[in-house]
Amino acid sequence: MSTVTENQTRSNGTYATASNGSKTSVGGARAAAIAAVTGYKPSPPPMNFKDTPTGDLFNANVFSKAVMKQRLPKPIFKALCGTIEGGEKLDCSTADAVASAMKDWAIEKGATHYAHVFYPLTGSTAEKHDSFLSPDGEGGALAEFSGKQLIQGEPDGSSFPTGGIRATFEARGYTIWDVTSPAYILENANGTTLCIPTAFVSWTGEALDKKTPVLRSMQALNKQAQRVLKLFGHTDGALVSSTAGPEQEYFLIDRNFFYARPDLLNAGRTLFGAPPPKGQEFDDHYFGAIPDRVLAFMLECERELFKLGIPVKTRHNEVAPSQYEIAPMFEFANMATDHQQLMMTTLKKTAEKHGMACLMHEKPFAGVNGSGKHVNWSMGSASQGNLLDPGDTPHENAQFLLICAAVIRAVHKYQGLLRAVVASASNDHRLGANEAPPAIISIFLGDQLTDVFEQIKAGGANSSLPKGTLTVGVDVLPPLPKDAGDRNRTSPFAFTGNRFEFRAVGASQSIAGPLVAMNTIVAESLDYCATRLEDATGGDPSKLHGALQKLLTEIMNEHGAIVFNGDGYSEEWHQEAEKRGLLNLKTTADALPILQTEEVKELFTKYDVLSERELSSRLDTYLEQYCLSVSVEVKLTLEMARTLIFPAAIRYQNELASTCANLKMLGYEFDTDTLDRMTGLVKSLQDSIAELQATLEEPESEDLLAEANNYCNVVLPAMAKVREYADELEAVVEDDLWPLPN
């Protein structure tokens, strides 16, 4: 990038001064946008942790159990707890009392409106705002909020994708209060709102959202886990919940840079750009000044998230320049999902406040590591604790090994589903591309646990176990790994000491889909194991360990192929995985059809997580979203290639041509290599633009999958061609003429 003086101007645009003092050359309409942000001075509020200690901030804006206990009459509070913890039905008078207390609390906190917050299939967060005020009939207004308004809302959600569910009935959808996720206050510059987390369903009760299936899948998991626990003598019935702790990766960049790139602004990633020179992955120009601002940003984020009851710990991530990570303490899966959505919103909002843009695209910059979301997953109950904790005694070990084996079986059996639930146009740039983790789903167990399972596997081959070989729950097991010392970053599904970590999830995705899949496939596996063991023991506990040994051996023989501790990036693994019969679904178009297989339909209907219609509506919606994302990128590519890159190339070609003409006129000897190269590239660019345009001229197909395949196999390669020539041009064209900050 060239440096120029403040008041220098050019015929093709203006020079905008970035807030960090750097200059970038820009042209046309974007200049206005940049001018609007260049004068920007970040004005974060003072971070005063002395007057308000972090401990006091935590949950400050949450209608938490403590607040409810304090504000609700005792019987009402008890009834509400019964609903939250025991799933009992909420009656109208309880709802009215809760609503009234909630309203008073919210108004004291400055709220003027309440919003039912719901989570449509786009993976985003939606809100419908209503005022507390109603006319009192005498020219005044009263603050009102009834139990009915708390429990149910009717958003005009007709603009959200529903995969055809509502089209055949009526446009209406309802939001229904999820009592298990507490209401909270959201403070915005323009006002304060009471937010009520809700499920979004059609009037026939079909789930139109991401939350409802999470709740259903948690129920399914609990039911099957209870049967397994009973076999081990735990009959207290304490609710088994799945737990989740998502680690969010993101990029932070200066907003000036963000606004100067139409591709970043509109598609969340750069669609053009030659690979950065070796050893300098980014231009320091933009990134050098950030760390102080980043720290201020992080502190403010942390504070806002604490107020919302989200227990975060932030960290700097070293993987790529300007890439960071934030992770909360794990919570119950549905809470973690709601909190994750809030976290993404808070990150973006706070970044803007600090003059930056928070990018959650999976691959904002080619040639630099992308962003994912590691979803740590486990299950546990109040009486049993974490069920994936190996424990210290053989008995605990036996229970742990069974549950762990159930997960292994589930992941092997439903590897395609796990791939499908992380499929998106943007995540395709990570999975299956040259980046971690690969599109092949496998499990990392670590050496020690792998060894234990290897022994279990061998146990099945010999009817009498050789001396010293492990017999589950009888011989003393070697101490099982509690701390995952040996880390493997390339595995998409890794055991990390007391939980599994699903790393293929995309940074911008809702974690709901992956959690629904994990909860349901493990529920199915636990169901299978419980049934087998119940049949084999016939209720006689003394037969348990023999039956268990047999079952574990069988599971490992049938499903052990999913375990892989090596380097997931390597070419050898791709070959080995193929030999093992593991799926390698490289793209979204390859992966999504898994949702229409009989096996997956059966899985979701059997455990009442998704009906066939609900499942097919999701397939349609995700296919549509895929096509939409790619088509946005294609349109942007065409526009940028035509209106920014091609004109710059022509201008440079023109300069070269006139130089050559002048030299010729003066009778000098000269060669036209550069001009020839430019002419060749300009022609190639022009042709590739025409070819890309032609791919769009195909009539739109009624068949969504066919359309997705066309985008994937025809349109995307044509788009890559345009980029290839544009990037070659970037390396040749005079820097001053290049229209995009690189």
Residues that bind ligand ADP (CB under 6 A): 243-245, 247, 327-330, 374, 376-378, 386, 498-499, 501
- Angle between the 598-606 and 612-640 helix axes, to the nearest 10 degrees? 120
Residues 324-363, one symbol each (x = binds Mg ion by CB under 5 A, - = not), give: ----------------------------------------
Distance CA 249, CA 325 (A): 4
* Minimum distance from residue 249 beta carbon to Mg ion (Å): 9
* Minimum distance from residue 243 beta carbon to ligand ADP (Å): 4
Q: Which is nearer to Mg ion, 208 or 445 (CB)?
A: 445
177-180 contacts at long range (C-beta below 8 A, 24 or more positions apart): 177/116, 177/150, 177/151, 177/152, 178/211, 178/215, 178/334, 179/80, 179/83, 179/84, 179/90, 180/84, 180/215, 180/332, 180/334, 180/335
Q: Which of residues 236-255 bind Mg ion (CB under 5 A)?
A: 247
Q: Which is nearer to ligand ADP, 327 or 609 (CB)?
A: 327
* Minimum distance from residue 213 beta carbon to Mg ion (Å): 25
Q: Which is nearer to Mg ion, 247 or 524 (CB)?
A: 247
What's the per-residue H, E or C state across 187-207? EECCEEEEEEEEEEEECCCCE
Which sign does the torsion angle of CA 625, 630, 633, 634 carry? negative
The binder of 498, among ligand ADP, Mg ion, none, by C-beta within 5 to 8 A per type, is ligand ADP
As a whole number of Å, the end-to-end CA separation of the chain is 8
Residues 211-240, one symbol each (x = binds Mg ion by CB under 5 A, - = not), give: ------------------------------
Cβ atoms of 90 and 83 closer than 8 Å: yes
Q: Which is nearer to ligand ADP, 446 or 560 (CB)?
A: 446
The binder of 244, among Mg ion, ligand ADP, none, by C-beta within 5 to 8 A per type, is ligand ADP
Amino acid (one-letter) located at 398: A
Q: Which is nearer to ligand ADP, 385 or 479 (CB)?
A: 385
* Minimum distance from residue 324 beta carbon to ligand ADP (Å): 12
How would DSSP label each residue in 630-684? HHHHHHHHHHHIIIIIHHHHHHHHHHHHHHHHHHHHTT-----HHHHHHHHHHHH
* Minimum distance from residue 697 beta carbon to Mg ion (Å): 45
The binder of 303, among Mg ion, ligand ADP, none, by C-beta within 5 to 8 A per type, is none
For residue 696, count other CB atoms closer than 10 A to its CB: 15
The binder of 377, among Mg ion, ligand ADP, none, by C-beta within 5 to 8 A per type, is ligand ADP
Which tokens sit at 24? Answer: 């970038």
* Minimum distance from residue 247 beta carbon to ligand ADP (Å): 5
Amino acid (one-letter) located at 129: H
* Minimum distance from residue 433 beta carbon to Mg ion (Å): 20
Residues sharing a CB contact under 8 Å with residue 540, sequence separation 6 or more, in sequence order: none
Q: Which is nearer to ligand ADP, 428 or 501 (CB)?
A: 501
The binder of 329, among Mg ion, ligand ADP, none, by C-beta within 5 to 8 A per type, is ligand ADP
* Minimum distance from residue 451 beta carbon to ligand ADP (Å): 22
* Minimum distance from residue 353 beta carbon to ligand ADP (Å): 25
Residues sharing a CB contact under 8 Å with residue 272, sequence separation 6 or more, in sequence order: 263, 637, 640, 641, 645, 723, 726, 727, 730, 740
* Minimum distance from residue 490 beta carbon to ligand ADP (Å): 13
* Minimum distance from residue 259 beta carbon to ligand ADP (Å): 32
Q: Which is nearer to Mg ion, 180 or 317 (CB)?
A: 317
* Minimum distance from residue 217 beta carbon to ligand ADP (Å): 15
* Residue nearest ligand ADP (C-beta atom): 245
The binder of 499, among ligand ADP, Mg ion, none, by C-beta within 5 to 8 A per type, is ligand ADP
262 upstream amide cis, omega within 30 of 0 = no
What totals of helices (H) and strands (E) does the chain contain, helices first? 25, 20
The three-class DSSP label of residue 502 is: strand
Residues sharing a CB contact under 8 Å with residue 546, sequence separation 6 or more, in sequence order: 536
The binder of 245, among ligand ADP, Mg ion, none, by C-beta within 5 to 8 A per type, is ligand ADP
* Minimum distance from residue 110 beta carbon to Mg ion (Å): 38
The binder of 175, among ligand ADP, Mg ion, none, by C-beta within 5 to 8 A per type, is none
Q: Which of residues 48-107 bind Mg ion (CB under 5 A)?
A: none
Backbone φ, ψ for residue 125 (5° rounding)? -115, 135
Which sign does the torsion angle of CA 130, 136, 140, 143 carry? negative
Q: Does 293 bind Mg ion (CB under 5 A)?
A: no
Distance CA 80, CA 582 (A): 47
Q: Which is nearer to Mg ion, 247 or 620 (CB)?
A: 247
Q: Which is nearer to ligand ADP, 100 or 509 (CB)?
A: 509
Q: Does 374 bind Mg ion (CB under 5 A)?
A: yes
The binder of 327, among Mg ion, ligand ADP, none, by C-beta within 5 to 8 A per type, is ligand ADP
Distance CA 418, CA 439 (A): 10
Q: Which is nearer to ligand ADP, 378 or 426 (CB)?
A: 378
Which tokens sit at 387? Answer: 């069920």
Distance CA 632, CA 35 (A): 26
How would DSSP label each residue in 237-285? -PPPEEEEEEEEEEEEEEHHHHHH-HHHHHHSS-S--PPPPTT--S-HH
The binder of 386, among Mg ion, ligand ADP, none, by C-beta within 5 to 8 A per type, is ligand ADP
Backbone φ, ψ for residue 669 (5° rounding)? -80, 135
Residues in the chain: 742
* Minimum distance from residue 327 beta carbon to Mg ion (Å): 8
Q: Which is nearer to Mg ion, 317 or 672 (CB)?
A: 317
The binder of 341, among Mg ion, ligand ADP, none, by C-beta within 5 to 8 A per type, is none
Number of residues interacting with Mg ion: please give it, by CB under 5 A. 2
The three-class DSSP label of residue 584 is: coil
Q: Which is nearer to ligand ADP, 207 or 312 (CB)?
A: 312
Q: Which is nearer to ligand ADP, 327 or 356 (CB)?
A: 327
The binder of 616, among Mg ion, ligand ADP, none, by C-beta within 5 to 8 A per type, is none
12-15 contacts at long range (C-beta below 8 A, 24 or more positions apart): 12/651, 12/737, 12/739, 13/739
The binder of 514, among Mg ion, ligand ADP, none, by C-beta within 5 to 8 A per type, is none
| Interface residue list for Mg ion (CB under 5 A) | 247, 374
